[in-house]
A and B are shown apart, each in its own frame.
Chain A
Amino acid sequence: MIAAVERNSELLDDFEIEVECLLEALFLRWGHDFRGYSRASLRRRVARYLADTGIQRMADLQHELIRDPQRCQHFVRGLTVNVTDMFRDPAFYSVLRTQVIPELRSHPFIKIWHAGCSTGEEAYSMSILLQEEGLAERAVIYATDINSRVLEHARTGIYHDKMLVTARENYQASGGKVQLDDYISTGYERFIMDPVLKRNIVFTTHDLVTDQVFGEMQLVICRNVLIYFRRELQSRVLTLFYESLDMGGFLGLGIKESLSALPNQNSFRIVDSAVRLFQRID
């Protein structure tokens, strides 16, 4: 019985061992550190990469990754999951309106950080919200991601039509004051965000694993990013957020993420448990 337990938890199969070697190689050669990421999703991404590129053996992939920076960049971009939505989880945005916005009003200058913003839908959603609350003029939104390709997309503010039905629904459900269509123009199966919304967004690369604090924020939003990290890394990143927040600053996580297993959870208090909104304790 004991032996069986050990077998289940200790024994890595061939592919798992190869994934571990790959992560080590990426770090040693290029400094890309994915070692603290959850393996179940990584394994899917690597398997998908092999299938998409037709590379047969992990050993061949590793050989190339160590020697070819272009291959490395291509591979690393394929490792992250970049799915996102406008006003995803509308309840989160309504709680921002009722719980956070009133606090932000007392600040002459407001800094908001979207960590892991992917193609930018979240940042534009925030920009719309700030406009409607009359705070856009004194706010800056830092929208960052590890993946420079998604940031290029984010800067264009152009999205596919098929996102629009959900986006409209979500916007209304989030307490939107007008119509989503007042902020976009449509055509050629695409829609483009009103350029005004871009004025106070700064899109820039930032790696939560290796990069540092870059400012004191009133609000940090990091949704559906920590789910790809193991607990130890989640905890490290939570410290980074703590240090990036002003006294009493807010932290918004994904709707199914929790701090309760992290040793440093006590540095935050829960503001709204349903939408996972927290506040830095001082």
Chain B
Amino acid sequence: MRDQQLVIVGASSGGLDAVLALLAALSPDYSVPLLVVLHQRANRESGVPAMLARNTHLQVLEVEDKLSINAGHLYVAPPNYHVLIEKEKLLSLSIEPPVNYCRPSIDVTLESAAFVYREWLVACVLSGANQDGAEGAREVKRRGGRVYVQDAAEAQVGTMPQAVAAAVSVDGVLSMGGMAEMLNRMNRSECAT
């Protein structure tokens, strides 16, 4: 039943370290699918998936077109593509223009994920220097999902989580340890059902 839920982690500058801290604090039985949308430089192969794979028990995949979303997996948005979510719980790619100067854009992914996962979607917005994610967070809340942000005091760059917190009433402002704890709890309660 764990693939009923989806966790999307949006991150930009300073965000990779935060993602690593989050992964380090996930319990070994954590298996709700995670999709990481991290802003990266375009036009070169990304070392991020391999880097994350060395630091998590989850199976890490860079998103390819029409990949299906499954428990126990961590998906990473590739540079230079937007990631969209299809009703059939597949990941689609698009090269439509950058949004907020970003491709992948967190807004784009959150908007389409909110449409499919509704109250089963958890959005986490971490360190970053722009506003990407704020629009998307509105859509997530509108459709009954939950939004958490990294504590701006802890984030390397607080602009992005602050922009989200200004746009919607977030479900929590958390340290990476606290966010992992929240995800672990969610994973356990999913287990119980």
**Interface of A with B (CB < 8 Å)?**
1, 4-5, 8-9, 13, 16, 38-41, 43-44, 81, 83-84, 88-91, 166, 169-170, 173, 224, 226-228, 230-231, 234, 254-258, 261, 274
Contact = CB atoms under 8 A, between A and B. Distances in A.
A117 to B, nearest CB: 14
B154 interface: no
Interface residues of B, number: 32
B42 to A, nearest CB: 8
User: Which one of B45, B65, B117 has the highest number of Cβ atoms from chain A below 10 Å of its Cβ?
Assistant: B65
A161 to B, nearest CB: 17
Given A8-B118, A90-B43, A228-B94, A44 B66 contact: no
Interface in B70-84: 78, 81, 84
A131 B88 CA distance: 45
B65 A256 contact: yes
B43 A83 contact: no
A38 B86 contact: yes
Given A8-B117, A8-B120, A90-B43, A83 B66 contact: no
A40 B84 contact: yes
A261 B67 CA distance: 9
A280 B30 CA distance: 42
A11 to B, nearest CB: 10
B65 A226 contact: yes
Nearest to B117: A8
B63 A227 contact: no
A256 B81 contact: yes
B87 A256 contact: no
A40 B86 contact: yes
A256 B86 contact: no
A221 B89 CA distance: 28
User: Which one of B4, B66, B111 has the highest number of Cβ atoms from chain A below 10 Å of its Cβ?
Assistant: B66
A224 B95 contact: yes
B92 A256 contact: no
Contacts of B189: none
A256 B63 contact: yes
B82 to A, nearest CB: 9
A182 to B, nearest CB: 22
A276 B93 CA distance: 15
Contacts of B116: 8
A256 B78 contact: yes
A217 to B, nearest CB: 23
B97 interface: yes
30 contacts: A1-B1, A4-B4, A9-B87, A13-B115, A16-B87, A40-B84, A40-B85, A40-B87, A40-B92, A40-B112, A43-B112, A44-B96, A44-B111, A81-B94, A81-B95, A81-B96, A90-B43, A91-B45, A169-B43, A173-B43, A230-B66, A254-B93, A256-B63, A256-B78, A256-B81, A256-B93, A257-B64, A257-B65, A257-B93, A261-B66
Nearest to B85: A40
Contacts of A257: 64-65, 93
B96 A41 contact: yes
A49 to B, nearest CB: 13
B112 to A, nearest CB: 5
Contacts of A90: 43
Contacts of A39: 86-87
A234 B86 CA distance: 15
Contacts of B84: 38, 40-41, 44
Interface in B91-126: 92-97, 108, 111-112, 115-118, 120
A166 B96 CA distance: 17
Contacts of A226: 65
Interface string B27-60: 0000000000000000101000000000000000
